[in-house]
Amino acid sequence: MFAFWEKTLNKKLIMKACFKWIKNCDAVLLLDVGKKGGEKAYQHAKKHNKKIFESIDEIPNLRT
């Protein structure tokens, strides 16, 4: 989400917003789990029992 803002925003502010969004989501798509911020987001999502997808292909088609 913040890939283009990392150079202009404080990293703590980015992670704070990320963690708030994760708490309000049913599931998260994490594409950069190997990076430091990605790992923190992954652990936060896991802690809050969120469904975690690491590829867009893993997301089920929810259309009826």
Write the pLDDT tens digit of every residue in 3-57: 666 666 777 888 888 899 999 999 998 877 666 678 888 899 999 999 999 888 8
Taking the model in full, what pTM does it have?
0.71
**Structure token pair of residue 26:** 């049913």
Q: How many whole angstroms separate alpha carbon 14 and alpha carbon 1?
A: 9
Report the pLDDT value the prediction gives residue 63, as an integer from 0 to 100: 63
Report the pLDDT value the prediction gives residue 44, as an integer from 0 to 100: 92
Contacts for 61 with CB less than 8 Å, ≥ 6 apart = none
Report the pLDDT value the prediction gives residue 5, as an integer from 0 to 100: 64
